[in-house]
Structure 1
Amino acid sequence: MKRTGLVSFTALALASLSASAAMAQTLPAEAGEATDEGATIIVTGTRASGITAAESPTPIKLLGADAIEKVGQPNLNQALTQLVPSFVAQAFGGDMANQTLQARLRGLSPNHTLVLVNGKRRHTTANFAVLSGPFQGGASADLDLISPQAIQRIEVLEQGAAAQYGSDAIAGVINILLKDNDEGGTAVGSYGEYYKGDGGTYNAQLNLGTRVGEAGWINLTGFYRSHGRSQRGGLDRRVTDMNGVLLTTLSAAQRALYPGQDGFPFVNKIVGDAKSRLYNTSYNAGYDLGDVQLYSFGTYSHKTASSIQNFRLADRVIRSPVLGVAGTLTTPGVILFDNTGFDPTEEISEDDFGITGGVKGETMGWKWDLSTTYGKDKVKLYTRNSANASLFVDTGFTPTDFYDGQFINEELTLNADFGKEFDVGMVEPMNVAFGAEYRKGTYSIGSGDPGSIYKEGGQSYPGFRPTDAGSHSRKSYSAYIDLALMPADGLKLDVAGRYEHYSDFGSKVIGKITGRYDITDGFALRGTVSNGFRAPTLAESFYSATNVAPTSATVQLPANSAAAKLVGFQNLKPEKSTTFSAGFVAEPVDKLTVTVDAYQIKVKDRIIGSGSIAGKISGVVCSPAANPSGCPFDGNLILGAIAAQGNILDPTVGDVSIAVFTNGVDTRTRGIDLTASYPMSMDFGSINWTLSANYNETKITKVSIDPRLIDAIAISIIEKSSPKWKVIAGATFTSGPLSITLREALYGPTSQLTRPSGAYLGPVGGYYKVEVGTSALTDLEVSYELVKDLTLTAGANNLFNKKPEKVYNVTLANGTGLRPVTGSNVWNQPLTFGPYGFNGGYYYGRITLKF
């Protein structure tokens, strides 16, 4: 940790504590519905009306528009990860996953968090995160497609709530409340980039509210963002040594060629942000007809993004009459790309659409709400600046651009909700809520063009074959009941139950009991016991593809396929969860609230990636007898499963493996959340001190499949790849037109096991531990209202340019020499799984006009 980061963090923490600061779960929030005292009324985690965050029996964090804006980067994932300790956003994804980054709560899967917009379920992305890592299997709602300026506030329920909202809400719920202003607006323009000078980000947002007729309103938001690539890749070990000096083993032709490569000696550009452009529009509208209100809201987004993949050497695609695809620069023949090598680029074109319409009112004391929500995400996939090596050898021609296919995810949800208060002789009336929900989901994969699927397909990303393609759907029906009551002074109880039936795996019944007891006006105990479940996503069940690198290929077999069953995998089934939490809320003095909540989440039959199961290593078919560590299965069995699925691999690839999603383990997650804030008024201004923290640890309690189907890397990712603790301390000083925000985030260590290709011949099992150590990141923002309603802002995220450690190098026991411990091709590459990314500092400027 840099000394500056440690000093600033310590100063903030001591200042917070010296002010007796404790923290309200309420972070700075703008107008929402409020009590007479000004406290925001929450709508998440309870179906009773009039409950504030301070009164909630469940832990709720409120993030207002002002807090979200002060993050700097115009990206909702970044806002949440910098404001909510238990929330971690993905910094880098492999293959197409780098175009749709995921996030997660409490170290669980991205799929364990349910995202709502105005209390209605948000559809999920079609772009499935396949490759191994902390976010593997993620197909949650894409928060990046919601404009920050459209948001009035966010309510984060950090507790399992499947009994209230259905499948997915195991780790918690993120409810995004859209602005409902019926007049005025805000225009925002900003620019920022990383300290290195790349990743330039242009952003423009416009929010406008207006009346519609005599009793209606509509709030509109437009959003545009352009984000440039960043480049943090290391030296390519196929071209230079670890000091950037050309290898003496290269031919004379190669030694003359490579110094001319773009960015030499950093010719491998795979590690970095994708280049992207995003257009987004959203609306929130309502019309009051007296006893009945009509409402609707929706979003539309168009996004293009591209990321550079592993560099292909100049002789990767060559047609030689002597050696064919195995030709070299010294062999007479035809070489593509003018003997320069090439950088394949993976690209998406995405259209995302979501709309909700409903009607609500009150009849004979019954409040009712009927709504329909439809969402669709369509992602078209392309590979640019590439080649199909086998097609070139066989015909003398290959395209350089390929259409690889498409993903489509569609979700339709119908809701009917009812509620009424009954006087049953308790301290307060009992609130009875019940309702029903119907959902239909469809996930489709479309196949690529002929060039993308000829034999092994294009370099870096083969197209989807007809055997990969298909459309899969399911339906679910559910009913719930929720009782909120106060049987005695200070005692609040909430009991919920839910029945849900899925067309593909049957029925589940789950429940939740929450209680809060206010011992005094300033101290309350609260706790929850619940069980839940998560249905496997259709992508987890049916996704099929081939993932390639220059010297390796991994075939992702569909979990619910005959090919996967050849190796011993079974169809996916739902995960089941049990959650316990207990904590307290203390309000010792005015404006001061302290909350502490401990929790335990057990997940049974958790769906995970199997890890890579080798069929060939270094071109040799696996033999368990000869190599039990690296080859637990007969390689012919693995290659047979690949053939059964219809996949064809590049003949020059040396390492071949499969991966499958499976209900592989039971896990137990334990942790503590602490939050506190204290607003301090002074003669010359005010300071809002905030402090929040999360401690979180996940353990695998049972491996429920053949141990050979899950490797040590997959286990380490589950247990070690999230920070064990994260602390965020902040202070916002305001004096007249001046506002200064200082925030310090302290991340605990994260680690995982890994091994380079062939490294099984090294230590036992061939595994090496890589770690991102304890890190402190400082954010600073200064705003000044130049004239009324016109504010200029300058700031920096990660002010002191903190970066994660780089991979280290090992010498393998089989005499193949020094190589990086992660990734078979790159020296001095930053670790990409850390909780705060690898790009370093980001500075920005912003202008805001309110009208």
Structure 2
Amino acid sequence: MTAYRTALTLAASTLAFASAHVAYAQDVPTQTATAPAADPAAAPDTGDDIIVTGTRAVGRSRLDSASPVDVLSSAAIQRQGTTELGAALSAIAPSIDFPRPSAVDGTDAIRPATLRGLSPDQTLVLVNGVRGHTAALLNVGGSVGRGSAAVDLNTIPTVALDRIEVLRDGASAQYGSDAIAGVVNLRLREARSGGGMTVNYGFYNTDIDTARGSRSTNGEHALTVSGWQGIGFGEDGFLTVSGEYLDRQATNRADFDTRALVKIPGTPGRVTGLFGDPKVEQYSIFANAGTTLTGTWKLYGWLGYQDRDTRSAAFPRLPLQSDPVAVARLELAGLSDGFLPLINTKSRDINSAIGIKGVVADWNVDLNASYGRNKIGFRTLDSANYAYGRTTQRDFSDGALIYDQYIVGLDVDRKFDVLQGVNVAFGLEGRREGFKIQSGELASYGYPAAGTVTGALPTAPPGAQGFGGFSPDNAIERSRRNGSVYLDVEAQVTDKLLLGLAGRGEDYSDFGSTGTGKVSARYDFSRWFALRGTASTGFRAPALQQQYFTSVATVIQNGNPVQTGTYPSVSPIAARLGGLPLEPEKSTNFSVGTVIRFGGFDLTVDAYHIRIRNQIGLSENITTSSTQSAAVNAQILNLLAGSGATAARFFVNGIASTTKGIDAVAHYRLPTDAAGTFDLTIAGNVNDVNVTRVPTSTSTLNPAPTLFARNRIESLENGTPGEKVTGSIDWSLDQLGALARVTYYGDVTQPGTTAAGDVHSGKHLITDLELRYQAKKGAQIGLGVSNLFDVYPDATSIANNPTGVIGYPYYSPFGFNGRYVYARAGLSW
């Protein structure tokens, strides 16, 4: 009840609160192919921004919709220190969070975002209304979103975007699988002329106060160079080409390691870890085009490619006096001083589509085909395979993950002049998904061939330290097919009453069929006041990655490395431990809200209730334990014999949860003759997740192992902030402008095995400032500071960080890097 009282107070206070949020103030209508694209930085707020997400009726605005939709302009996304789309969205949309995990293998490079505190894979991402493809990566680390395979938002460069629409409502009946929490629709820039180029440069100027000591840094720079150009051809044809290059140095917020034999004078040790944002070098290019073919028929399409090279770190391997076995292994490998393994991920991503749309017998017809592919290659650098002794190599090729997706879709709609207007839409979609694991070289995962190496340690764990490669036993190639059909009817019954009804049927080649439905309504009591609400069912199909991913990797558990195998739920090992074929998740969503608007002010408040059944989660690491009987331990050892693993885990259905919350967004635009224009907004989200059921084991072991323990429940319930409020003021006068934004984050829990091991981020305020000179054409300059007051989450205590490798909780919703100073210079034409 406290959370809801907080939310109601938040909603009421917006009526008098003079702060702003440029994300909602700079709503820009989608550009058409028949007109040049305006400079988004100079676009005014119309108050009647047209949406295409959550409705298939033409011409509906966000304030006229039955579901809550945020419209975030490219200007809002780009007026920040970061050019990372996920981080930029999190800064300006209170219902979206983007933690910055570290030391969790590939998730350091492919970082997922969450909506309304739910799993990253429970939000559907569209590109120009077409389903986007997920990343090949499966998040099996201990971060937010553990067990998910989600879309990588950062594969779309911000310079390629015109705006983003965020539907905060269940929408599986409209768009299919994954839309349990909502939908993020990325709308690409469309321009026949104009262009621009921008250089962003920034660095950290921060004091790092960890549990064991303090230090400062003035560096760790990031450089982004981006540009776009609109090209016109024919009567209304357009080709918009966008490109971006990013070079970002790694950040390090590790604590001092007291175990280090060599210490820095005046400190309790030295920094041996590399804990923070990874080093990234990437380039992206996007082309978006469209033209009239003949009459009412138009051809459109886009093609994007990104190459991302990311380097993060595992835990350091040190010659500890308390661990003579580790010392012996290091000495035998010729690395007596220890080493820090680096994990190198190479992500190559393709995003493409082509379509044709026109009119047939008064029906609008849109036929499109899309293809997306993500390949992530892994290497372990500066490492060692102890099994090879002194002959070990230092760099290893670990193999790759590949995911691809083909889609063919047909959408048909027509508006009938009955009642006050009835829009009928229906469509078909066929989809094929594929997932593949390619094995690495022998030294990355295994032992040397017998007799080929002298002086090696046959009892040493095989594979590259830090990140072991995929073996031929892990290599798989699987695919599935899906077909769906939908019907969507939206009727303006009277000038005050809007009703909507949607239904969708899906059939998957691996688990069968499912159906979803949605009912929505809105009643406008007057021009300034309306009530709206929706009720829907939803689902999420188990990802191919969740069904088939398999590997043996080092997992740090309670500070100790454990060789852990991740197995398909139907594999012989998982089946003995309680694994079953995965089934789709199901949800029931309810939403009710209000819209208030008068003059330049508008306020939306929406409450929601989401019940998820049969949710999929990654099980505990099942291994031997002193709390288990000797007979059970013997069975586990026998089961894992020869696998290279001492623990096993797999995916399982059976989690049930209830999520309740309130979103409130208030915006006021105040134009003045002498002082310029002020865009004032406050937006907040209060969210409460409650796990009501966890899976029970069907294992043949007696007693059956625990599949879902306290720390997994705690991560779902408290891994994202229960309260987040953002207020900002955006001021502009001719070509000058300024932005001030303050964001409040509630406490987040990074769970431990027991409550004593929990790490809390604390409650914090983050302040961002930017000054700018931005002509519609010509030079553009921006100077800003993100996290002006150098705020960090609460430092990880010594008790919960005995090694000193981790400095701050990586569940922190605003990261843990400190103050960032940046400059932006550009030219538009």
Instruction: Give TM-score, length-normalised by structure 2.
Output: 0.88
- Deviation track 1:787-808 (CA, whole Å, cap 9, x = no partner) reads 9521111101111111011222
1:348-747 to structure 2, matched below 5 A, reads 348-392=345-389, 396-424=390-418, 426=419, 428-455=420-447, 456-548=462-554, 549=556, 551-587=561-597, 589-615=598-624, 622-625=626-629, 634-643=632-641, 647-649=643-645, 656-682=646-672, 683-706=674-697, 708-747=706-745
2:244/2:283 contact within 8 Å kept: yes
Q: State the 1:690 CA deviation.
A: 0.8
For residue 637 of structure 1, give the secondary structure of its aligned residue in structure 2: helix
The one-letter code matched in structure 1 to 2:818 is: G
Instruction: Indicate whether 1:161 and 2:171 are aligned.
Output: yes
Distance in 2, matches of 1:37 and 1:750, equals: 37
Q: State the 1:36 CA deviation.
A: 13
Selected match of 2:204 from 171, 194, 208:
194
Q: State the 1:92 CA deviation.
A: 1.2
The number of residue pairs the alignment matches comes to 768
The one-letter code matched in structure 1 to 2:773 is: Y
Tell me: CA distance 1:65–1:223, structure 2 relative to 1, closer, same or farther (3 Å).
same
Instruction: Indicate whether 1:302 and 2:307 are aligned.
Output: yes
- Greater displacement, 399-408 / 707-716: 707-716
Distance in 2, matches of 1:421 and 1:839, equals: 52
Distance in 2, matches of 1:788 and 1:17, equals: 36
Distance in 2, matches of 1:430 and 1:728, equals: 38
The one-letter code matched in structure 1 to 2:536 is: S
Distance in 2, matches of 1:776 and 1:106, equals: 20
Tell me: CA distance 1:753–1:368, structure 2 relative to 1, closer, same or farther (3 Å).
same
Selected match of 1:136 from 127, 134, 146:
146
Selected match of 1:235 from 246, 253, 256:
256
- Deviation track 1:820-848 (CA, whole Å, cap 9, x = no partner) reads 325x5226721111111111111100012
Residue 804 of structure 1 corresponds to which residue in structure 2?
Answer: 793
1:828-839 to structure 2, matched below 5 A, reads 829-839=807-817
The one-letter code matched in structure 1 to 2:281 is: R
Selected match of 2:340 from 336, 339, 343:
343
Q: State the 1:412 CA deviation.
A: 0.4
Residue 243 of structure 2 corresponds to which residue in structure 1?
Answer: 222
Selected match of 2:112 from 94, 97, 102:
102
- Greater displacement, 355-364 / 263-272: 263-272
For residue 336 of structure 1, give the secondary structure of its aligned residue in structure 2: coil
Selected match of 1:776 from 765, 768, 793:
765
- Greater displacement, 368-377 / 36-45: 36-45
- Deviation track 1:310-349 (CA, whole Å, cap 9, x = no partner) reads 1112489x9xxxx9987278xxx74413x32111111011
Distance in 2, matches of 1:385 and 1:171, equals: 41
Q: State the 1:33 CA deviation.
A: 5.4
Q: State the 1:767 CA deviation.
A: 4.7
Q: State the 1:641 CA deviation.
A: 3.8
Tell me: CA distance 1:716–1:36, structure 2 relative to 1, closer, same or farther (3 Å).
closer
1:307-326 to structure 2, matched below 5 A, reads 307-314=312-319
Tell me: CA distance 1:379–1:778, structure 2 relative to 1, closer, same or farther (3 Å).
same
Residue 233 of structure 2 corresponds to which residue in structure 1?
Answer: 212
Residue 821 of structure 2 corresponds to which residue in structure 1?
Answer: 843
For residue 50 of structure 1, give the secondary structure of its aligned residue in structure 2: coil
Instruction: Indicate whether 1:327 and 2:332 are aligned.
Output: no
- Greater displacement, 23-32 / 737-746: 23-32
Distance in 2, matches of 1:22 and 1:188, equals: 25
For residue 493 of structure 2, give the secondary structure of its aligned residue in structure 1: strand
The one-letter code matched in structure 2 to 1:418 is: V
Distance in 2, matches of 1:25 and 1:538, equals: 35
For residue 634 of structure 1, give the secondary structure of its aligned residue in structure 2: helix
For residue 541 of structure 1, give the secondary structure of its aligned residue in structure 2: helix
Residue 800 of structure 2 corresponds to which residue in structure 1?
Answer: 821
For residue 849 of structure 1, give the secondary structure of its aligned residue in structure 2: strand
Distance in 2, matches of 1:596 and 1:297, equals: 36
- Deviation track 1:687-718 (CA, whole Å, cap 9, x = no partner) reads 11011000001001122323821111111101
1:19/1:678 contact within 8 Å kept: no
Instruction: Note the residue ranges of structure 2 that are not aligned, 5 or more in a row.
Output: 1-9, 33-43, 206-216, 448-461, 698-704
Distance in 2, matches of 1:129 and 1:828, equals: 20
- Deviation track 1:53-92 (CA, whole Å, cap 9, x = no partner) reads 1111110000011111112211101111001101000211
- Greater displacement, 698-707 / 503-512: 698-707
1:24/1:676 contact within 8 Å kept: no
1:796/1:844 contact within 8 Å kept: yes
Q: State the 1:24 CA deviation.
A: 11
Distance in 2, matches of 1:348 and 1:845, equals: 29
Distance in 2, matches of 1:561 and 1:841, equals: 48
- Deviation track 1:108-153 (CA, whole Å, cap 9, x = no partner) reads 0000011101100111111221112322123211111111111101
1:623/1:635 contact within 8 Å kept: no
1:275-294 to structure 2, matched below 5 A, reads 275-289=279-293, 290-294=295-299
The one-letter code matched in structure 2 to 1:686 is: T
Distance in 1, matches of 2:329 and 2:485, equals: 66
The one-letter code matched in structure 1 to 2:668 is: Y
Distance in 1, matches of 2:817 and 2:619, equals: 30
Distance in 2, matches of 1:382 and 1:754, equals: 29
For residue 708 of structure 1, give the secondary structure of its aligned residue in structure 2: coil
Q: State the 1:237 CA deviation.
A: 4.4
Tell me: CA distance 1:600–1:19, structure 2 relative to 1, closer, same or farther (3 Å).
closer
Instruction: Indicate whether 1:91 and 2:97 are aligned.
Output: no
- Percent of aligned pairs with the same amino acid: 34
Distance in 2, matches of 1:33 and 1:182, equals: 10
2:333/2:386 contact within 8 Å kept: no
- Deviation track 1:8-28 (CA, whole Å, cap 9, x = no partner) reads xxxx99996436789999441
Distance in 1, matches of 2:252 and 2:78, equals: 27
1:612/1:711 contact within 8 Å kept: no
Instruction: Note the residue ranges of structure 1 that are not aligned, 5 or more in a row.
Output: 1-11, 240-254, 617-621, 627-632, 650-655, 756-764, 810-819
Q: State the 1:238 CA deviation.
A: 3.1
For residue 118 of structure 2, give the secondary structure of its aligned residue in structure 1: coil
Distance in 2, matches of 1:27 and 1:366, equals: 35
Q: State the 1:264 CA deviation.
A: 9.6
Distance in 2, matches of 1:793 and 1:140, equals: 33
- Deviation track 1:434-488 (CA, whole Å, cap 9, x = no partner) reads 0000001001111110111214201111111122110111100000000011223
Distance in 2, matches of 1:326 and 1:459, equals: 14
Tell me: CA distance 1:551–1:65, structure 2 relative to 1, closer, same or farther (3 Å).
closer
Distance in 2, matches of 1:284 and 1:300, equals: 12
Distance in 1, matches of 2:22 and 2:274, equals: 42
CA RMSD of aligned residues (A): 2.6
Distance in 2, matches of 1:659 and 1:509, equals: 31
For residue 62 of structure 2, give the secondary structure of its aligned residue in structure 1: coil
The one-letter code matched in structure 1 to 2:386 is: A
